[in-house]
Structure 1
Amino acid sequence: MAPNDGAANGNPAGAGPARSLALLAYLAAFAGVCGHASSEFVVKLTQLQGAEVTVWRFMLGGAALVLVSLARPQTRDLITPLRENFVQVVGLSIFGMAFAQFLFHWALDYASVVQVATMVTTMPIFVVFVLRIVDGTKITAPKLVSGIGAFLGCLFLLTDGVLDRLDGGESSLPGILLAVGCAIVGAIYLVLVRPLIKQYGAIRMTTYTFALGAIPMWFVAGFLWGVWVDPTTLFDRPSDQAAALITLGMWNTCIGFILWLWGLGNVPDPARGNYLFFLKPVLAALLAYFILGDTITVPQLLAILAITGFVLGEIFFDDIRAALGRAREEKAP
């Protein structure tokens, strides 16, 4: 009898390993989302201002990413991309995602973990509108659905910021607006950096973002905030603060980004893989509520539901439209 390779049972050889790889890729992408979602939480644990914590994250995360790039033969050459496209690589690294990350950390000085996480989650939605402007890509009906969700989410969080002020507390509006700025700048970066990612790979471009971005961020924190970060003082700090900074650099920046990028690069359906990103505000809200003891307000919950709910509407847009069509046919005389 010939060895059973599974083909006779409708299970082609290699289908099992392919499914295993797909499952592993989705798990890696989800772990990357957890890295993204917990970054706001870890930033709060550092108890540092946004400008200072940005420098620490870029220094530690950038150094770790450089080591990862140098350890892999495919990404070891960090000089050639700079020689071939110096202005584009450096410009997008500093004024793209590095600037977006700076706005993200600054936003946490004024707004809560949930507010910032929810606003940053709109970044993939803004990508659709940036693509329309840059490449003329048509905005389809499903994309408009998620765009409506992003708009409603912004409105709910702006309402939340106004209510903070009316209740006599500090207004969170500056932080919410900074988070919106982070999402918009990040979306522009993600669109413009695509050709470079195809040419040089996502890991190398992420390495440039944090390694090169650390230099201007150090000067910005020093000249504008008067905070000149000395990396040699990392272990002179309280142990819990040092641990939070290391976690932010190693887990949230280096490992989290690599898992996210590897996962998205290996999932069978990258579009579906990207939708995992919309779990970010939910995970951030759970961390903020159960560990930080933050209060989750009604407008914040409505914002999360609006964004995640309308994204689900986009995912199942065709199925919903088909079901509605069948329902109309059944009601027709």
Structure 2
Amino acid sequence: MSRTMVWLAYLAAFAGVCGHASSEFVVKLTGLAGAEVSVWRFTLGGLALLLVALSRSATRDLITPLRQDPVPVIGLSIFGMAFAQFLFHWALDYASVVQVATLVTTMPIFVVFVVRLVEGTPVTAPKIVSGIGAFLGCLLLLTDGVIHKVDGDVNSLPGVLLALGCAFIGAFYLVLVRPYIKTYGAIRMTTYTFALGAPFLWIVCGLAWGIWVNPLTLFDRPPGQAGALITLGVWNTCIGFILWLWGLGHVPDPARGNYLFFLKPVIAALLAFFILGSHITVTQILAIVAVTGFVLGEIFFDEIRSALGRRRAAQDS
């Protein structure tokens, strides 16, 4: 692979991360509650992904996977990522952009422990390091939620717990969906997630919240709101996912490419602070540092251990 292609792959993966990181920001711009915005995102995003899948000969056949593996394909689409994304949007009704973005970023770390539970793969020392960071980040944000409640501010604890639930369910989805992604491809499985998740969430939103979303009213809404919903569906969902998956599929080291995902809370915090004018607490900054810092410790674990070993050997001599 040429050097230019490698850089393009990393750039695509980074653009995908920006799509993920800006989703919390765009959700806030819609001004809608979590349940309703989830329906809009899955409807518009599912439609966009459906058009992409049908435009490519390799992904055009959307019937065969449903015929061969209906239960796992439909089940994982609805009760995996769709349910996780629903919790994600609901969390933003209570917690800040920074809190939700930081907790959702722990999803890849949880994947390591889910793989251990599901497949029996041992957890290595570097993964334990990043796991400690995830634990500290979660602990700090849970504490931050309690402090907000005690201070009489907006109670962010339910949002923190919902975001944590999103990361946990999403981790199980990412592990269980892998064999089907290998068989049917990432674009088709992502398309199923949003296209099948849309009617499910439409029913849930209608029955539980009494909000029956009518997609035909999209352009009857205020221009800013309509634009934010289209951005959420097309950029944050369709284009963002495709860039992320394409980039990870072409980088020389997918594991290292995945580490770009941990820039998500930093990007989300910058967007929230400079554009939304959100207040970022010291506890939230410490949570970001804990998650990203310990992930850096995992990335350079061997180098750090070698450096410490050489230093110890020099001291002993």
Which range, TM-score by smaller chain? over 0.9
| Paired letter, 2:10 | Y
Distance in 1, Cα, partners of 2:268 & 2:314? 43
Tell me the C-alpha RMSD between the 2 structures. 0.6
Alignment match, 1:233: 217
Following superposition, the deviation at residue 18 of structure 1 comes to: 1.4
Following superposition, the deviation at residue 248 of structure 1 comes to: 0.1
Distance in 2, Cα, partners of 1:119 & 1:48? 21
Q: Indicate the SS of the match to 2:131.
A: helix
Alignment match, 2:194: 210
Where structure 2 has 5 or more consecutive residues not aligned to the other structure, the ranges are none
Question: Does residue 105 of structure 1 match 2:109?
Answer: no
| Paired letter, 1:308 | T
Match of 1:301 among 270, 282, 285: 285
Q: Deviations over 1:199-248 (max 9, x none)?
A: 00000000000000001100000000000000000000000000000000
Alignment match, 1:331: 315
Match of 1:58 among 42, 48, 54: 42
| Paired letter, 1:40 | E
Match of 1:76 among 60, 81, 84: 60
Which range moved further: 306-315 or 153-162? 153-162
| Paired letter, 1:200 | Y
TM-score, normalisation: structure 2: 0.99
Q: Which runs of 4+ in 1 moved over 2 A?
A: none
Question: Rg bigger for which structure?
Answer: 1
Alignment match, 2:157: 173
Following superposition, the deviation at residue 136 of structure 1 comes to: 0.2
Alignment match, 1:142: 126
Following superposition, the deviation at residue 44 of structure 1 comes to: 0.4
| Paired letter, 2:159 | G
Following superposition, the deviation at residue 168 of structure 1 comes to: 1.1
Q: Percent identity?
A: 77
Q: Indicate the SS of the match to 2:284.
A: helix
Following superposition, the deviation at residue 170 of structure 1 comes to: 1.9
TM-score, normalisation: structure 1: 0.95
Match of 2:302 among 307, 318, 327: 318
Alignment match, 1:151: 135
Q: Indicate the SS of the match to 2:22.
A: helix
Following superposition, the deviation at residue 272 of structure 1 comes to: 0.4
Alignment match, 2:230: 246
Following superposition, the deviation at residue 185 of structure 1 comes to: 0.3
Question: Does residue 118 of structure 1 match 2:102?
Answer: yes
Distance in 2, Cα, partners of 1:197 & 1:224? 32
Q: Deviations over 1:54-76 (max 9, x none)?
A: 00000000000000000011101
Following superposition, the deviation at residue 315 of structure 1 comes to: 0.2
Question: Does residue 182 of structure 1 match 2:166?
Answer: yes
Q: Deviations over 1:35-59 (max 9, x none)?
A: 0000000000000010000000000
| Paired letter, 2:305 | R
Distance in 2, Cα, partners of 1:240 & 1:276? 30
Q: Deviations over 1:83-131 (max 9, x none)?
A: 1001110000000000000000000000000000000000000000000
Where structure 1 has 5 or more consecutive residues not aligned to the other structure, the ranges are 1-16
| Paired letter, 1:109 | D
> What is the number of residues matched between the two proteins?
317
Distance in 1, Cα, partners of 2:313 & 2:219? 69
Following superposition, the deviation at residue 19 of structure 1 comes to: 1.0
| Paired letter, 1:53 | V
Distance in 2, Cα, partners of 1:159 & 1:186? 23
Match of 1:265 among 235, 245, 249: 249
